Structure formats: C-alpha cells, structure tokens
Amino acid sequence: MPFQQLTTERTLIRRFRAEDVADLYAIRSDPTVAKFQSWEDINEEALRHFVQAMHEATPGTPGEWFQFAIALRTTGELIGDCGIHILAEDSRLGELGYTLGRRFQGQGLAYEAVAAILTYVFTTLNLHRIAAIVDVRNRSSVKLLERLGFRREGKTHQAFWNKGEWVDEYLYAMTGRRWAALAPIRAAAVQQHGRTKTQVVLLGTGTPNPDPERHGSAVAVVVQDNEHGKKRRSQAYLVDAGPGIVRRAADAATRGIDALAMPRLTRLFLTHHHSDHTAGLPDLMLLPWVLERNETLVIYGPVGTQAMVDHLLAAYAEDIRERREGLEPSNDQGYRVEVHEYEAGEIYRDDLVRVEAFRVQHGSWPAFGLRFTADDRTVVISGDTRPFAELATHYQGCDVLVHEVY
C-alpha cells in the first residue's frame, strides 16, 4: 500500500508538498541546524526539485533515500524531516537521517516522530537493521539515538570531510528484533509525557581520590514546566556539592541547560557531610551571588548542616563584607543561606517536584538517599551507601537510578 501518513500525539509524518519549500529552506539554511549536516549552498530552486521528487517517491525502494516530512498536528507547519535509505545490495538494511528546525528542538518532537517512522520501516517495510552515522560533536543527535535505544557499534577517526575539516563519527544501529523488544519502554515513556520534563545532569562522578577527568560528587535534577499556555520555566535541584560543582554547572548552562546558570542555583540537597560531597559548598554559596544571584540559597541536609553553613559564613565574613560594601557592591540577598535539616520522609515539595529522603548505611552519622518525583518521571539518587536488604525497596518504580559503586 502506498505511504500516506503517520500520526503521533503532536506530529504528522507525511509526504512533502510544494508548499513546504519555504519552511524547508528556512530550516536547512539555518547555520545552527546545518552545522553537523553535509549539505552546503542550499537554494530554494534545488529544494523545489527535491520536494517534488520526494512527493513522487516510494519509501523502501532499494538504493534510494525517502524523506518523510515532519509537521505539527495542530498547525500543519513543517518542522523537519527524516530520511530512510534502503541499501541497493540488501533491501533488508537501511540508514537513518533526520533534521529538526531549531525552534522545535529540545521538546521531544524528534523522538516522537523518529520512533513512529522506525516502527513503520521495521513493521511495514520489514527492514532487519537500521544504521545511523553521527558527528561525535553532535550531542543532541547522540542523545536522541541513545534514547531511542540505538547501540553504539564503533567510531571512525577523521574519516569524513565536512565543511572544511575532517571529523570523527559514531556508528549506531538498531535491529527490528531489538526495536520490538523495546516497545514496552517506549509505551511507558508515552504514558509519562505530562506537565513536566525531567532530566538528570551528572555534574561530578569522581571519588575522594584526585582524578583530572572527574569532578567531585554532584548531580542536578532539572525539571521543566511544560504546562500548556504557560511560559516555560525550569528549576535545578542540586544534590551534593563536591569540588567543581559551580564550574560544571556553568559548563552545562553553556550547553543549553538554562536552569544551571549561576543566578539560578538556589536549591541544594546534601545526602551527607563527607568532604568529597561538600567541598564545593563555599563556591556554591558565594560565586553565583557575585554573578548576580539575588535569591537566598536554600539547603536541605542532615543534622549538622546548619553548623557547617554557619562556620563557612563566618570563615568568609570579610570577603562578604568587602563584596557588599566595596567599590562594586553585590546585592544584599544572594549570599544568604536558609537551612532545613531533615530526617527520613518527605522533605520538600513545590509545584514541580516532591522530594523524599530515605536512610542509607554509610558511616556512623546520618546519611540519606533521595527520591525526586515529578509529573513525568521519578529519579532516585542513592547517595553513598553499602548494600543492605531494604535498600532496593526505595528504588521501586523509579525511571532513573543514579547509584554509587565506589
């Protein structure tokens, strides 16, 4: 049966139409979108011929690419495309490519559309295996492939010439059997789609031993509010403050995670007081303030957190005085710290997330793991702990588990 269209919750996958040329040109001529793509010198006349060819093409033809147009269901606006190339030498093997306009990235639309297309090619076109080749610098594309369940099979070094330089590429692949086996996970992901979008950012995964490749223990749970009709907002909930936390957060902010920008670092949860989990605390208390944080830093931690913060503020009292009263005074709020000492149970709740603490076994003092529950998913962070019988009960039903293995 000739291909007509596919639909997902938010996208429409269809053939290209003549009226798509202007939108397609806007997408492909965007330097940010084209950065890791092979095309150059895009012009509307060439795209007009391309659109006509794709309108008449048949998906699954050996030796040819077929580009699916991806549009919004609500407006019909073209937002990108996805191509499948069937190998001439074996029509059971294919290659995947995709492009999404900059305005539509970071919203899960690519995942939604590409997943529907993969289901189509594996079930209707009966492909056995799909490969995808991606520039190693294209982190968004790598993240999408791995979220879809593709396996990384290899890496080529300086084997592809693109826009004036030799680049490294990853090879990813998916088989029809694996795609079918992952169906329950995809179904769960669809059910989780809701008011929030939650991601986990590993800011530091080092041990107490110095390692130039790893920073001290720190994790960010970032929750974005996707409620329809509201301006998007997001909040980062930091867990532990090992050495380097502020600089790693700044690096993540430059990569598009706005909630980790310096002025927005306002929520911290400490699992325990070992120095490799807290040595970055003075930096977190003071540097974001110097860089325009004008809100109080709120810290949740075990018994002893208040004393730790009081001593740090006393140690830096002269620095704080100079920055408040000097030639270029900082604001009078951002260095302040509000401490809440907690025991096991629910310790925090706002309109984006609920946080529960559970006891773990790590030394003779209070130590905790944390469970973050947002509308779309649940994240559990074990904290430092040894194995014990009840530990796994705290992980039941979570979507993401960050567990120490030191």
Catalytic residue IDs: 276
Name the DSSP letter for residue 103.
G
Query: What distance in Å separates the CA atoms of residue 398 and residue 113, rounded to the nearest whole number?
Result: 26
Q: What pairs with residue 81 in β-bridges?
A: 69, 99
200 phi and psi angles, rounded to 5 deg:
-115, 130
The alpha carbon of residue 385 and the mean position of all alpha carbons in its chain are separated, in whole angstroms, by 26
Q: Give the DSSP per-residue string, 255-297.
A: TT-GGGSGGG--EEE-S---HHHHTTHHHHHHHHHHTT--SPE
Of all residues in the chain, what percent are helix, strand and coil, respectively (each to 5)? 30, 30, 40
Name, in order, each residue with C-beta under 8 angstroms of 92's C-beta and a sequence gap of 6 or more.
126, 127, 128, 129
How many other CB atoms are there within 10 angstroms of residue 329's CB atom?
A: 10
Q: Give the DSSP per-residue string, 379-391.
A: EEE--S----TTG
Name, in order, each residue with C-beta under 8 angstroms of 138's C-beta and a sequence gap of 6 or more.
35, 36
Query: What distance in Å separates the CA atoms of residue 29 and residue 35, rounded to the nearest whole number?
Result: 10
Name, in order, each residue with C-beta under 8 angstroms of 204's C-beta and a sequence gap of 6 or more.
214, 215, 216, 217, 218, 219, 242, 243, 244, 245, 248
Q: The tokens of 205 are what?
A: 């995964």
The alpha carbon of residue 201 and the mean position of all alpha carbons in its chain are separated, in whole angstroms, by 7
**Residue of 232, 248, 255, 246 lying closest to 286 (CA atoms):** 246
The alpha carbon of residue 293 and the mean position of all alpha carbons in its chain are separated, in whole angstroms, by 24
| End-to-end Cα separation, the chain, in angstroms | 56
| 158 φ/ψ sector (left φ>0, alpha ψ -120 to 50, else beta) | left
